[in-house]
Structure 1
Amino acid sequence: MSDRDGGDGRAAVRRARAEDLGRIVELVAEHAEYEKAAPPTPDLAPRLAILLFGEGARGDELPGRPGPGGELPRLRCFVAELPDGSLAGYATCAPELSTWDGVAYLHMDCLYLTSTARGHGLGPLLIDAVRAEARALGLTEIQWQTPAWNEGAIRFYDRLGATSKEKRRYTLPVDPA
């Protein structure tokens, strides 16, 4: 997908594969801790497997491509892979709709790099992968949010030329039917 010379080899950003799932779950837990949020649910791995690879995915399908039933997975995930093969970050995204604009856009739900991977050019590579996904889906905009206290992320997004809107995000639990 894309790569960058890390000095001692090439770091790359690529689509997540089924064998990456365990490390992605670890990165999600690190991300939640970094954002001072509750830890992920204990059954995150099987939930993500369905969202990333589709219902009934065997793990040998190409992620982001139609699964056994012909459906595209709801969630797309890109991983930052270091020259040694370890994963140092991820970005996830999914198509969403804007009522006000009357168009679909790509919502980037998460972008996270481990503290040691920041500042080495992997963030822009992850953003490039998300941009390419939006382009492939025929979408003309990416939207996301970051905590107001995350000044490093805000500086990064500002350098990309992104604009921000002040809003608060709410969640409301729904009781099972």
Structure 2
Amino acid sequence: MIRTATPADVPVIHALIRELAEYEKALEEARATPDQLHEALFGDHPAAYAHIAEDDTTGEVVGYAVWFLNFSTWRGVHGIHLEDLYVRPTARGGGHGRALLTELARICVERGYQRLEWSVLDWNAPAIAFYESLGARPQDEWTVYRLTDEALTRAATTRSP
């Protein structure tokens, strides 16, 4: 079962984010607090949205998706950027990841959004195979760049000549 997250889900979303970070070998980078997540998802001006995957039998939360809107200047419409998709290892193969992606694709179609996109670590072969089985294709011509921490601060204070 897939449902829209509620404020009561923040603790389990936080726990799942930490599980995902550990799986991706980057637990020390997962610094978001439950209060930050609550504000981002349910504050006055939500920056992101979340869906929950529950086990149909037990009702246990087994996965989540966190996403936000992006915008294509070429197409002139919004799309969805999937920030996180995670299903607990014990629940994988049960259709939860597919159901989460299906729900996001449904939202895109319903609202006239023309893209659903995300990033995947190049070493995560099971995820890549899963995404490609759905018809997703890598955008090999694009390289992701990111500024964080000290580099972000330097960029913010650098003056042009």
**Unmatched runs of 5 consecutive residues or more in structure 1:** 1-11, 56-70
Counterparts of 2:130 and 2:63, CA distance in 1? 15
Partner of 1:138: 112
Report the CA distance between 1:99 and its aligned residue.
3.9
Q: Which moved more, 1:133-142 or 1:103-112?
A: 133-142
Counterparts of 1:134 and 1:44, CA distance in 2? 29
> Is 2:38 the partner of 1:49?
yes
Spell out the pairing of 1:20-31 with structure 2 (5 A cutoff): 20-31=9-20
Partner of 1:5: none
Q: Is the 8 A contact 1:98 1:105 kept in 2?
A: yes
Report the CA distance between 1:14 and its aligned residue.
0.6
Q: Is the 8 A contact 1:29 1:39 kept in 2?
A: no
Counterparts of 2:147 and 2:39, CA distance in 1? 23
Report the CA distance between 1:102 and its aligned residue.
4.3
Partner of 2:50: 77
> Is 2:23 the partner of 1:34?
yes
**Unmatched runs of 5 consecutive residues or more in structure 2:** none
Counterparts of 1:50 and 1:100, CA distance in 2? 31
**Normalized against structure 1, the TM-score is what?**
0.76
Partner of 2:126: 152
User: Identity rate of aligned residues, in percent?
Assistant: 34
**Normalized against structure 2, the TM-score is what?**
0.83
Counterparts of 1:51 and 1:137, CA distance in 2? 22
Q: Which runs of 4+ in 1 moved over 6 A?
A: none
